[in-house]
Structure 1
Amino acid sequence: MTVRTDGGRSEVERVARGSVTEGAARAGLVAQGVIYLLVGVLALRIAAGDGGHQADRGGALAEIADQPFGDVLLWALGIGVVGMVVWRLSEAVFGAVGPDGRKPHMRLLAVVRCVFYVFVAFSVLAFAAGAGGSGSGAGDRESKDVTARVLHLPAGQWLVAAVGAGIVVAGVWTGARAVVRSYRDELKLAEMSRGARRLVDVTGVAGGAARGLVFAAAGVFAVLAAVDYDPDRAKGLDDSLRAFAGTPLGPSLLGCVAAGLALFGVFSFAMARWRRV
């Protein structure tokens, strides 16, 4: 006798795609928005001449910790990022929304995103618990330390260069998708007013382009670290942002990128409201 499992599998998938996963996804998008908004604001301060802040996740967490009920807010933020882990894990196992959501490359992308948010969630929760792993300058130090360790491996230069090139490609891909407004495929457009669509387009295009540019810049620095065999050439988010101020356009370019990151935070809030999950 053959036992059919289709019904059980469908029930498991229905539960996984139900209100719990949807709530986790929306909480995760809100947490993402908070982090990017704060990073953007901190980078704007640096562009304005206040260099005493770290424009990275550690700096954003430190800002939250200094607020009333900061500890509670940090734990809430960490739990929100855990929601992103749950959502991306669900996409890896059951597929994402959309006609291509079940294809292997989409599942692999979900796995990569899940691993990334596991790291982010761990760092946020560690900071909330007082471990201090995401303190001032931690992101830049971690980038240099990891690069140094990998460079000493067999074929380490090639590996660092390959990872850096991959980050560059991911940054360009991220920015390009934002510019062509591919995020619209993931939105409940029928539920949005004209003003809401305009808000999403402004924040999505500008924010996504800025985010992609920062990723690409970090990837370029990783490639340079590999070429020069110098881990100090690698840069975290804060150092990558500060590098924009060293271009011929000076702090004005950093200000534009910083504003874009803040807009991406607002875009994340909009996605939390209208994204199809």
Structure 2
Amino acid sequence: MDRKKEKIARFGIFTKGFVYCLIGALTLTAAISTRGKKTGTGGVLSTIVEQPFGQILLGITAAGLLGYVFWKFYQAIADPEEKGNDLNGLFTRAGYASSGVFYGFLAFTALKMLFFAEEGSGEDNQSFVVSLLSKPHGQILVGIFAVAFLGKAGYQIYIAYSGIFKNRVQAAELDNRVERIIINSGYVGYTARGIVVGIISYLIFHAAFTANSKSAGGTKDAFNFIQNEFGLFVLAVLAVGLFAFGFFLLVKARYRTINI
């Protein structure tokens, strides 16, 4: 049974890496030519289903996302990595659970597209912000939502520059050159992801202050903001960074130690 859990976890991590590689590749193509399109995790699903054998590919992706959801909730509940029940441990495990919820919604979107031929709604935050703004103290609730994204962005940067991600890479005892490439991919990838999530946080904060849900958005909106404010070159750099993050996850799926 433990071996099955490990395979599910590795398949889930691999699928997440594949999704981020596709996001990076599509966005980089959009930055350097007119043939690509900026997209987020949800928009990737529509791209997958448009390919030859797209339904099969989407089904495999949905299964992988469900595997990732299982792994995140298993980490949060069973605590196989022994994060503990102190404040820091509970915060880390809550992060696992929140990641499981996000990718659970993404897996649900993939399944709807697969079985009901519905268009992917993307991972746009606008509908959720609309719901929050309609409630009492809605702007405060949206602000809290933005703080959660800001915390996630900060954690990505912390992972990059504290170097904590390197431990599992080094434990795999890879060739020095290969190890260096993977670690550099981790630095670049986590930094790029932190920046993009930070911009999403800014957009949600703006929605909270203006009570305008149209200001909020997901990864695609963050890319549009980057292009408008900083230009195509910066967009291309971040796209490469997200591709590097996906590559890092693909390697991580193969070599990281999975505690069950």
Structure 2 length-normalised TM:
0.91
The aligned counterpart of 2:83 is: 100
**Mapped partners of 1:52, 1:104: distance in 2:** 41
The 5 Å alignment of 1:90-239 reads: 90-97=74-81, 100=83, 103-135=89-121, 138-140=122-124, 143-187=125-169, 189-239=171-221
Q: What is aligned with 1:261?
A: 242
The partner residue of 1:276 within 253, 257, 260 is 257
| RMSD over aligned Cα atoms | 1.9
Contact 1:186 1:275 (8 Å CA) reproduced: yes
Contact 2:45 2:58 survives alignment (8 Å): yes
Q: Is the 8 A contact 2:11 2:68 kept in 1?
A: yes
How far did residue 74 of structure 1 move?
Answer: 0.8
Q: Separation in 2 of the partners of 1:181 and 1:23?
A: 26
Deviating more after overlay: 100-109 vs 58-67: 100-109
Per-residue CA deviations over 1:34-76 (Å, capped at 9, x if unaligned) read: 1101111111122124276241123322222232221111101
Shift of 1:149: 1.9
Match of 2:72 in 1: 88
What one-letter code is carried by the residue in structure 2 that aligns with 1:118? Answer: G
1:169-192 alpha-carbon deviations (Å, 9 max, x no partner): 210221221133211233462432
1:8 is aligned to none
The 3 A distance-change label for structure 1 pair 184 and 195 is: same
Find the aligned partners of 1:195 and 1:130 in 2 and give their Cα distance: 47
Q: Which protein is bigger by CA-based radius of gyration?
A: 1
SS of alignment partner, residue 55 of structure 1: coil
Which ranges of structure 1 fall in alignment gaps of 5 or more residues?
1-14
Corresponding position: 1:37 with 2:21: yes
2-structure distance, mates of 1:45, 1:52: 5
Residue 139 of structure 1 and its aligned partner are, at CA, apart by 3.2
CA contact (8 A) 1:188 1:276 kept: no
Question: 1:9-57 deviations in whole A, cap 9, x for unaligned?
Answer: xxxxxx4xx1111111110111101110111111112212427624112
Contact 1:181–1:204, Cα closer than 8 Å, also in 2: no
